[in-house]
Amino acid sequence: MKFRRKDFFKAIALGTISMPFLLRSVLSDTKAQGKSANVSGRTYNWKMVTTWPPNFPILGEACQAYADMVEKMSGGRMNIQVYGGGELVPALECFDTVRSGAAEIGSGAAYYWAGKTPAAQFFASVPFGMNAQQVTAWIYDGGGMELWEELYAKYSLIPMLGGNTGVQMGGWFNKEINTIEDFKGLKMRIPGLGGKVLEKAGGAPVLLAGGEIYTGLERGIIDATEWLGPYHDTQMGFDDIARYYYSPGWHEPGTALEYIFNKEKFESLPPDLQAILRTASYYINNWVMARMEARNAATLAKLKDKGVEIRTFSPEILEQLRKHTNEVIADITAKDAFARKVYESYNDFRQKASAYANITERLFYSSIQAI
């Protein structure tokens, strides 16, 4: 049985074929083609570098869970040593480390590499864009993966999904944000397109790795920060040093995380190990989304009990940020042809997904509020 990449993802998503059966099929197909020599007893010892602090809850744990799953599925033939940000290389050097082959795998989010290729940002999150299920659908079954692979191939890399944060919170602030004017002069840790939107609003975006944010906020290097959601934000201690917690996370409505692989080393693997690495990525993508949703929901109740002031950005502020988002995207796509190609695909899928969501999810949530 042969599987194209799109068939691979569809089969698992629809539940029409199990992961173990799929892997057995890959093995039998390889043997049928007279390539059984590629399925050997050789052991591979790889390194994974990450942008996450060492042992970071969920995101760092997911990397170790990925490594553990790959080891078990491969019968011990593939061993991955995971290094948190700063343990082997600085957190934001993962891209170049994997590209050079100094490590075989990296874990992070594509918007961290905007300085290398602007188009990468669209594979992480777009302000006021698609949510987790929509961006996952675009990447797996709407043409996104093909574009992502085309882009990263220029850097000798292969991308795979590594989870999604879901809709994030809007961030922690040491002052109230009542009008768009309150963003002027504000130094805020915020990556990707959201950072460029903040700049349009008069703020100063600062890109800090996760392990540096608390110190930056505590020492006044930054005035505000976004990170993830209630669970992770309290793990970082932001609720102890910032007064106001704002919603919604307009800048990251469904942030896709990634695994990146050195292309030459990945393609040198036997087909069964390649399939195992892809299958583990698919599993971890769902693993992360489930834990983010469950733990954020539980932590929100604790934050309210603690007396944290949870505020909501006004409709007027969100409308201004939306306008700035359109300006930022127009600037990027006018200057970079591949970014324009990616965004056109993203936006076309978003329009269709939004039309469907308007008669399903939007009406459903409205009915809940009405009860």
User: What are the boundaries of each domain within the chain?
Assistant: 5-166+254-293
State pLDDT tens for residues 125-160.
Answer: 999 999 999 999 999 999 999 999 999 999 999 999
* pLDDT interval class at 305 (50, 70, 90): confident
- Checking if the pLDDT of 297 tops 90, the result is yes
Fold of 5-166+254-293: D-Maltodextrin-Binding Protein; domain 2 (3.40.190)
Cβ-proximal residues to 280 (8 Å cutoff; 6+ apart), any chain: 66, 69, 70, 73
Q: 251: which 2 tokens?
A: 């800048």
**% of residues, the chain, pLDDT over 70:** 88
* pLDDT interval class at 3 (50, 70, 90): very low
Cα–chain-centroid distance for residue 18?
Answer: 25
* pLDDT interval class at 368 (50, 70, 90): confident
The span from the CA of 134 to the CA of 132, in Å, is 5
State pLDDT tens for residues 234-275.
Answer: 999 999 999 899 999 999 999 999 999 999 999 999 999 999
User: What is the pLDDT at residue 304?
Assistant: 80
Q: Please say whether the beta carbons of 136 and 122 come within 8 A.
A: no
The string of DSSP codes covering 151-196 is HHHTTTEEEEEEEE--S---EEESS---SGGGGTT-EEE--HHHHH
Is the preceding omega at residue 90 within 30 degrees of 0, hence cis?
Answer: no
- Checking if the pLDDT of 299 tops 50, the result is yes
Lowest mean pLDDT among 80-84, 175-179, 240-244: 240-244
Closest CA to 124 of 260, 222, 283: 260
State pLDDT tens for residues 186-221.
Answer: 999 998 899 999 999 999 999 887 778 999 999 999
* pLDDT interval class at 13 (50, 70, 90): very low
What does pTM read for this prediction? 0.86
Q: Please say whether the beta carbons of 222 and 216 come within 8 A.
A: yes
User: Average per-residue pLDDT in the chain?
Assistant: 90
State pLDDT tens for residues 314-347.
Answer: 999 999 999 999 999 999 999 999 999 999 999 9
State pLDDT tens for residues 45-58.
Answer: 999 999 998 989 99
Cβ-proximal residues to 344 (8 Å cutoff; 6+ apart), any chain: none
